């Protein structure tokens, strides 16, 4: 079995670099809006049942004039899944030990005309090694031109790596980010991928390059959408619509989201896991 330790370190370094670049860009947007909001960074260690090092992460959070609440987390953890949970994880059915490193971002915006967004990329090793992730747009007040721009950016990125990726991964996002009990989509989609397996060095290089480009594409397209909408006037009725939409977001993340379940099942930091929840929500 391949020792993926150095690969995990390389992936972690990239996720930390991406975090730093995203946070700097978001702080620049706040400054353009006349705000001095900055990210606060809180380190956390994963609790284990013994004296072993289970890893941990850094939770970055900011509340500002444009970003009502945004979290950007990077974590690197290791350990063993419970026998029952291992059955649900790719490659862990025979060996429950794992390592996982990744970045997870959720932004809830003050102006309801600015779309909320989610982005996550990760590298996991169990009995197999693979990349997963994606990004999806979640506007309370959708604009078709914003949706098209977001999808076009990721379509171009996917096409650079594999002509089948965009059709496969955008469909996967539509299917995954869906709320069955409401019979509605969580947002307007994007891409979602998982289990891009690394059987050898060539596969690692190929999948890592794609995952890096997903992060870079997000960093390019989302700030453009924010700057386009952040100064638009909005009514109290539109703010109410945003709060009600956020309720759907909460329902998905607490009932269906795999990342939330993974964090809770592996002893992750509760505040980091639940940073995806919006600050101000209404259920009508």
pLDDT of residue 49: 64
Alpha-helix runs per DSSP H in the chain:
5-32, 83-86, 144-161, 165-176, 201-229, 236-255, 258-265, 270-273
- In the chain, % of residues over pLDDT 90: 78
3-state secondary structure of 210: helix
Burial letters for 67-106: b for 16+ Cβ neighbours within 10 Å, e otherwise?
A: bbbbbbbbbbbbbbbeeebbeebebbeeebebbbbbbbbb
Reduce the DSSP state of residue 247 to 3 states and report it: helix
What value does the mean pLDDT of the chain take?
A: 93
State mean pLDDT over 39-54.
Answer: 79
Q: CA 259, CA 222: separation in Å to the nearest integer? A: 22
pLDDT of residue 249: 95
Closest CA to 101 of 123, 125, 129, 69: 123
Per the annotation, the verdict on 118 as an active-site residue is yes
Is residue 161 within 8 A of residue 203, CB to CB? The reply is no
Cβ(246)–Cβ(278) below 8 Å = yes
> Which residues, other chains included, contact 122 with Cβ-Cβ below 8 Å and sequence gap of 6+?
100, 101, 102, 103, 104, 131, 132, 133
Check whether 12 has a pLDDT greater than 90. yes
Catalytic position from the list 7, 108, 113, 118: 118
Q: Decide: helix, strand or coil at residue 256.
A: coil
Cα separation, 225 vs 216, whole angstroms: 15
pLDDT in tens, 104-142: 999 999 999 999 999 999 999 988 899 999 999 999 999
Give residue 69's pLDDT: 98
Q: Which residues, other chains included, contact 164 with Cβ-Cβ below 8 Å and sequence gap of 6+?
A: none
pLDDT at 100 over 80: yes
Note the CATH number of domain 5-276: 3.40.1500.10
Share of the chain above pLDDT 70, in %: 97
Per-residue model confidence as pLDDT tens digits over 268-277: 788 888 888 9
Q: Residue 28: what pLDDT?
A: 98
So what's the pLDDT on residue 52? 61
Residue 51 has pLDDT above 60, yes or no: no
- The DSSP H or E segment spanning 119 is strand 116-125
pLDDT digits over 162-178, tens only? 999 999 999 999 999 99
All structural domains of the chain with their residue ranges: 5-276
pLDDT of residue 50: 59
């Amino acid at each position: 079995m391949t020792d993926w330790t150095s690969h995990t370190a390389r992936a972690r370094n990239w996720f930390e670099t991406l975090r730093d670049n995203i946070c700097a860009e978001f702080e620049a947007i706040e400054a353009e809006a006349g705000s001095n909001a900055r990210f606060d960074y809180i380190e956390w260690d994963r609790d284990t049942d013994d004296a072993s090092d289970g890893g941990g992460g850094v939770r970055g959070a900011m509340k500002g004039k444009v970003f009502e609440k945004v979290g950007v987390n990077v974590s690197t953890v290791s350990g063993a899944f419970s026998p029952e949970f291992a059955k649900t994880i790719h490659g862990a059915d025979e060996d429950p030990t794992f390592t996982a490193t990744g970045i997870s971002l959720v932004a809830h915006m003050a102006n309801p005309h600015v779309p909320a967004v989610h982005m996550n990329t990760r590298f996991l090793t169990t009995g197999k090694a693979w990349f997963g992730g994606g990004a999806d747009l979640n506007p309370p007040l959708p604009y078709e031109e914003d949706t098209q721009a977001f999808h076009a950016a990721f379509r171009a990125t996917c096409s650079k790596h594999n002509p089948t990726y965009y059709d496969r991964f955008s469909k996967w996002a539509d299917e995954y980010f869906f709320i069955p009990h409401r019979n509605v989509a969580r947002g307007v989609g994007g891409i979602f991928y998982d289990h891009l397996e690394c059987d050898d060095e060539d596969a690692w290089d190929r999948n890592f390059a794609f995952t890096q480009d997903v992060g870079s594409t997000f960093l390019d397209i989302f700030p453009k959408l924010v700057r386009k909408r952040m100064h638009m006037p909005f009514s109290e009725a539109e703010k109410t619509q945003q709060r009600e939409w956020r309720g759907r977001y909460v329902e998905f993340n607490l009932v269906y989201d795999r990342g939330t379940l993974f964090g809770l099942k592996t002893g992750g930091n509760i505040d980091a896991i639940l940073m995806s929840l919006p600050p101000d929500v209404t259920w009508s």
